[in-house]
Structure 1
Amino acid sequence: MIDLGLKRIARLVRDQGKFPWRAIHVAGTNGKGSVCAYISSCLKFSGIPSARFTSPHLVDRWDCITLDGAAVSEELFLATEAAIKQKNARENIGASEFEILTATAFEIFSRERVDLAVVEVGIGGRLDATNVIGPPIVTIITKIGLDHQAFLGSSLEEIAREKGGVVKVGSRCIVDGTNDGKVLSVLGKMAEEVGAESLHAVRPDMVGEGGGDGSICEITTEAFGRQRFEEFLTGNYQPANLSCAVHALSHLSREYPSITASTVFAGVRNTSWPGRMDTVDLSCLFPGRERRVLLDGAHNTQAALALSDYVTKELRTGGKFVSWTIAASKGKDVEEMLNILVRPGDKIVAVEFGPVDGMPWVAATSSEDIIGAVSEMFGGEIEAVDGGKDVLGGVKTAVELAGEEGRTVVAGSL
């Protein structure tokens, strides 16, 4: 169940949010996780004891909490979570699953005595459980789009006001300058009203062709001057995300001088963000044959458009088709996603993911419904297979359908 508000989380955490560590708070619709990944990697290379909290988890519930770049141990997570749950029961707080997870992460940060914590907002910002923290050392707001309208509002301006609720008095705010002008106007007014130190809308100085995946970008900051990056995460939106991260790090370097141009360069080069534009080698499932698969959540319209752009430029070259493994959370607009991603001649294996540990409100769209949407939209132009609840089998089938002439992509929901 999603139940936004700060009253319960304020009772659940120690000292009502007055923590011994300082936060870098990251909000937005798309790009939050990438920005968190860049910053936490750079903090690690700068030798600063740091932590990160992102959501949702990818495999295990505790992999959303990291210390110095490594996921916390299951033992530490479960012991801390048990203490939080005991407090929740003892004081009859009635906290939600996400509030318990947030409080668990924050308690681990305090116990492990980190200096800085990179914290990703769950939903929105103003009433999100992570907003229990006091004024962060820096706030970052990435690209804002239409998502979670039932909770945040139906227009970009309404959503911006909710996400802008993380801007606090005395804090610097870094905003993705590629946002819609209306979004930037709303956020600028909010920063002025709350007494933020300053608000900076940033973007790369230059984005061009070259580098490992075909992209390079140059970013100029006060602390590091003009830097040229050729190795960073995949996706046409990544230069904008990287710009937000590097500008935030430039600000942090005022108080943490071990953050330098060289540690930022090394941190960016070594950043990974599994499950998002992530190419995985599945040769272990096909002995003697190289099989590389692209994984991406494509969890909303903006993300699906970005995935489609990458697939068109990088995978469909030479007339190749795409063999998809598709799953989706219940309530997602499957037809819109298919319309953005799929082209005549592609092949689809529809699957259903099982229960999500720690997120009981998340359920899968039936594979039968996905197949029905494919049939209605494309008729016989698309070969579609119902993989049911066998997700691994569905991926194997998609790889086999791709053969030597196609490429395989797994997408739909994280």
Structure 2
Amino acid sequence: MIDLGLKRISQLLPNISTLPWRAIHVAGTNGKGSICAYLTSILHSASIPVGRFTSPHLIHPHDSITINNAPVPQHLYNLASSTIRSRNESLRIGATEFEILTATAFECFTLAHVAVGVVEVGLGGRLDATNVLRKKIACVVAKVDLDHQAFLGETLRDIAAEKAGIAVEGVRVVVDGGNPGEVLEAVEKVVERVGGEMVVPVVEVGKPGEGVKVTTEVFGTLRFTKMLPGRFQAANLACAVTALEEAVKRGHKITPEDVVTGVANTEWPGRLQTIDVRGITKIPGSRVLLDGAHNPGAAKELRAYIGDAENVVWVLAFSKGKNVDEMVGILIKENDTVVATEFGAVEDMPWVKPVDASEIAAAVEKVGVPGSVAENVKDALRRAFAEAQGRRVVVAGSLYMVGELLREMQ
């Protein structure tokens, strides 16, 4: 169940104003997870105790929480979860599962004595449970696109204003400069109203092999040649590095070398990730590209990464509420092949349901591309490789399906 608001989370976390750690708070439609991954890896390289909370979880609910760039220890998660759930029951708060998970993450950060919490917004920003946070080092608004309009508004301007709602007085808000002008204007208006400061990162993308240059006041101009894949990562990286200036200004020691090393060591599973699935297909050399692209903006970036000219075999699944025709129209090109499927039940998120595979197959038929239906992701992969004949196989459309596949591979 999605029920936005701050009343219940405030009751779950009565001491929120006295937390012993400060947050870097990240909102946006696309890219916010990658930004959180960069931030965490850099802070860890600088030996700064750091926690991270992102959503949705990929494999298990507690893997959305990390401590010092590693999954939260099970005993710590259990202790924090027990504390929060007991408070929810004793006070009869009626918190949602996401609110309980958010409060659990913040409790884990406190128990682990982190100095910085890197926190990804769940949905929107202004009324998201994570926005109970007041003690912030910096805020980030990544790329904004149309998504979750039923909750956030029908226009980019409306959605951007909701996401900018994480801004607080006296705190810098770093905004992806690749956003449309109406997004930048909406964010700036909100930031000015609360007494914050908006800044757009300075980034330069060189020719292939030359890497990316990010310029900041604190770190100077840094050149990065090893980073997460995808053309959009230059903007995500620039947002992360620019936000970390604020951590340095607050007394945290982060050197340019820490930044470069942290970026090179960053990992973000389920996004442009290539894995071997021979354990499922029984075919040597079975490698697939995984990407949780689940909205039009992410779909466009995925297709750009692959290239329009390449013929692809797709394994597709979507969550209910997505515009299947639009997503298929972006991803699928002439001579592609599609195997439509559905993901199973998502742990602790019973409200998340898949689109019927037959609906995806019907959308594929409209664009004149061969398509078939498989019962689950394993059967879909087997069918995809039977039809691939050397072509690339891509699993996309839903992080829930990507997570299900990674769970099967464990």
**Fold conserved (TM > 0.5)?**
yes
Q: 1:413 aligns with which of 398, 406, 410?
A: 398
Q: Which moved more, 1:68-77 or 1:125-134?
A: 68-77
Q: 1:266 aligns with which of 257, 261, 270?
A: 261
Question: CA offset at residue 82 of structure 1?
Answer: 2.4
Partner of 1:403: 389
Pairs aligned (count): 399
Per-residue CA distance 1:128-182 (angstroms, 9 max, x = gap) = 0000011411111111111111111111111111111100011111111111112
What's the secondary structure of 2:174's corresponding residue?
Answer: strand
What's the secondary structure of 2:136's corresponding residue?
Answer: coil
Partner of 2:408: none
Per-residue CA distance 1:300-354 (angstroms, 9 max, x = gap) = 11000101111116xx4xxx41011101101211111111011121111111101
After superposition, where does 1:222-301 map in structure 2 within 5 Å? 222-285=217-280, 289-301=284-296
Task: Output the TM-score relative to the length of structure 2.
Answer: 0.94
What's the secondary structure of 2:398's corresponding residue?
Answer: coil
Counterparts of 2:374 and 2:74 in 1: how far apart (Å)?
32
Residue type at the aligned position of 1:295: L
Per-residue CA distance 1:258-316 (angstroms, 9 max, x = gap) = 31100100000010110011111234445672222110111111000101111116xx4
Partner of 1:386: 373
Counterparts of 2:223 and 2:208 in 1: how far apart (Å)?
11
Counterparts of 2:96 and 2:262 in 1: how far apart (Å)?
35
Contact 1:135 1:171 in 2 (8 A): no
What's the secondary structure of 1:165's corresponding residue?
Answer: helix
Partner of 2:303: 308
* Residue 361 (str. 1) matches residue 351 (str. 2): yes
Counterparts of 1:371 and 1:18 in 2: how far apart (Å)?
52
Counterparts of 2:354 and 2:75 in 1: how far apart (Å)?
29
Per-residue CA distance 1:96-147 (angstroms, 9 max, x = gap) = 1110110010111111111000000001110000000114111111111111
Counterparts of 1:159 and 1:256 in 2: how far apart (Å)?
34
What's the secondary structure of 1:358's corresponding residue?
Answer: coil
Contact 2:311 2:335 in 1 (8 A): yes
Q: What root-mean-square deviation, in Å, do the aligned CA atoms of Structure 1 and Structure 2 show?
A: 1.5
Q: 1:327 aligns with which of 317, 342, 362?
A: 317
* Residue 123 (str. 1) matches residue 123 (str. 2): yes
Counterparts of 1:41 and 1:408 in 2: how far apart (Å)?
30
What's the secondary structure of 2:307's corresponding residue?
Answer: helix
Contact 2:23 2:116 in 1 (8 A): yes
What's the secondary structure of 1:279's corresponding residue?
Answer: strand
What's the secondary structure of 2:126's corresponding residue?
Answer: coil
Partner of 2:361: 371
Per-residue CA distance 1:56-86 (angstroms, 9 max, x = gap) = 0000101000000001133332332222112
Moved over 3 A (4+): 283-288
Contact 2:12 2:88 in 1 (8 A): yes
Counterparts of 1:294 and 1:411 in 2: how far apart (Å)?
8
What's the secondary structure of 1:253's corresponding residue?
Answer: helix
Question: CA offset at residue 368 of structure 1?
Answer: 1.6
After superposition, where does 1:18-29 map in structure 2 within 5 Å? 18-29=18-29
What's the secondary structure of 1:24's corresponding residue?
Answer: strand
Distance 1:37 1:333, change over 3 A: same
Counterparts of 1:17 and 1:322 in 2: how far apart (Å)?
51
Counterparts of 1:288 and 1:342 in 2: how far apart (Å)?
25
Counterparts of 2:179 and 2:318 in 1: how far apart (Å)?
27
Q: Which moved more, 1:140-149 or 1:260-269?
A: 140-149
Question: CA offset at residue 360 of structure 1?
Answer: 1.0
Per-residue CA distance 1:345-383 (angstroms, 9 max, x = gap) = 1111111101101111100111122112222332xxx22
What's the secondary structure of 1:137's corresponding residue?
Answer: strand
Counterparts of 1:76 and 1:396 in 2: how far apart (Å)?
39
What's the secondary structure of 2:363's corresponding residue?
Answer: helix
Partner of 2:326: 336
Per-residue CA distance 1:195-234 (angstroms, 9 max, x = gap) = 11x2111241x213323xxx72111111111111111111
Counterparts of 1:264 and 1:352 in 2: how far apart (Å)?
40
Contact 1:10 1:17 in 2 (8 A): no
Counterparts of 1:293 and 1:286 in 2: how far apart (Å)?
11
Counterparts of 1:68 and 1:83 in 2: how far apart (Å)?
22
Residue type at the aligned position of 1:147: D
Partner of 2:205: 207
Contact 2:281 2:385 in 1 (8 A): no
Partner of 2:407: none
Q: 1:346 aligns with which of 336, 346, 349?
A: 336
Counterparts of 2:252 and 2:61 in 1: how far apart (Å)?
34
What's the secondary structure of 1:368's corresponding residue?
Answer: helix
Contact 1:135 1:170 in 2 (8 A): no
What's the secondary structure of 1:234's corresponding residue?
Answer: coil
Partner of 2:213: 218
Contact 2:17 2:135 in 1 (8 A): no
Q: Which runs of 5+ in 1 are unaligned?
A: none
Question: CA offset at residue 257 of structure 1?
Answer: 4.6
